[in-house]
Amino acid sequence: MAFAMVPELKNVRINSVNFRSKLQWDPPTFHKGNITYTVQHKSSYKNTFENLCTSIDTTECDISFLSIYGNFTVRVMAESENELLGLADIIFNPMEDTIIGPPAVKVRSESGYLTVDFTGPASENSRENWTVQQYYGSSFYRVQYWKKGSAQKVITVNSSHNSASLLDLDPWTVYCLQVQAVVPEWNKVGEFSQVLCEKTTENGITPVWMVVAVLLISMLVVLVSVPACFFSFLCIYRQTRYIFYPSYSFPQHLKEFLSKPSYSSQFCAPQSPEEDHSYDKLTVISEESENCSGETENQSSNTEEQVQSSHQEISDSEVPDLKEDQVQTSYLIQPVN
């Protein structure tokens, strides 16, 4: 097919951001009937074109599924009733032609400084959810910030990580910032993010009065909490001891009595009439005298003689011979079996 006499389509362009690529063009100026478009491509190591979009009626075609690496020739043709109305070719290199979009940025105020976090931008032609920087290799982020209302004095900070700290800021001051990704190897600079503003706080130096107040409060809490904990523990201990170890103690003599039931049976058991109970009669004579101190030794000897003769019964005839100041006492002694 000869294309020498076919007019060229105007304003053919490729819009590619983060490897999301679209081929766009303007329709022919003079045309008749319905116009359809066909988009083809071929790589640098092929000689034949392959169709990307066929017989479409719009003036754009998504070519994002082309490989990110390599050069491509992309062709668009306008047709009407099998008549070629126009065509155009364009060279496309995704790594060079795509635009790096703005990263996602978050900023938070710390004690006297600002912390900026940024991610991406994410590639829109990657099944692995890669970022654009992962395709290019070495890259970094550029952060520009300034005091709100004085955009003439802009400070730039570069970071090869996903965050940056903006130091030496005035306390209680609003700062604005924006971030872009930079790929120096490909000489590519990404788009800036939207401007974000945040107010700083104190510089992080704690006043002396605040330190003293914190110490006093801490000491007060300790002084109040320690006795409270001690008394609470004491109450719990007393209650537990009262429940499991009561203070009442069973009398010792009752314990001994109950532990030896044979004693009780000995006294309570009825006596047999056949049992022989023999008793010895013991008579103790005590003599009172006006001279008690002098006769103490004689009473002791008399008592011993009376005990030795406990098995002999004193006759009734001997009782009257006792002096009037003598007292007679008799005891019945039961022998122990």
- Of 57, 7, 51, 44, the C-alpha closest to 28 is 7
Supply the pTM of this predicted model. Answer: 0.56
| Strand segments (E) across 266-305 | 280-287
Structural fold of domain 13-97: Immunoglobulin-like (2.60.40)
| 104-199: CATH class | mainly beta
In whole angstroms, give the CA distance from residue 243 to residue 247.
10
Q: How confident is the model at residue 193 (pLDDT cuts 50, 70, 90)?
A: very high
Element of type H or E holding 229: helix 208-244
Domain with CATH 2.60.40.10 in the chain: 13-97, 104-199
In whole angstroms, give the CA distance from residue 263 to residue 271.
15
- Of 74, 92, 72, 95, the C-alpha closest to 18 is 95
Question: Could you report the per-residue pLDDT of 226-251, keeping only the tens digit for each?
Answer: 777 877 877 887 777 667 666 656 56
In whole angstroms, give the CA distance from residue 124 to residue 235.
69
Question: Could you report the per-residue pLDDT of 143-177, keeping only the tens digit for each?
Answer: 999 999 887 789 999 999 999 999 989 888 999 99
DSSP per-residue codes, 158-174: EESSSEEEE-SPPTT-E
Residues sharing a CB contact under 8 Å with residue 63, sequence separation 6 or more, in sequence order: 14, 21, 22, 23, 39, 41, 52, 74, 92
Question: Could you report the per-residue pLDDT of 6-62, keeping only the tens digit for each?
Answer: 788 889 999 999 999 999 999 887 766 788 999 999 988 888 999 999 999 999 999
Q: How confident is the model at residue 196 (pLDDT cuts 50, 70, 90)?
A: very high
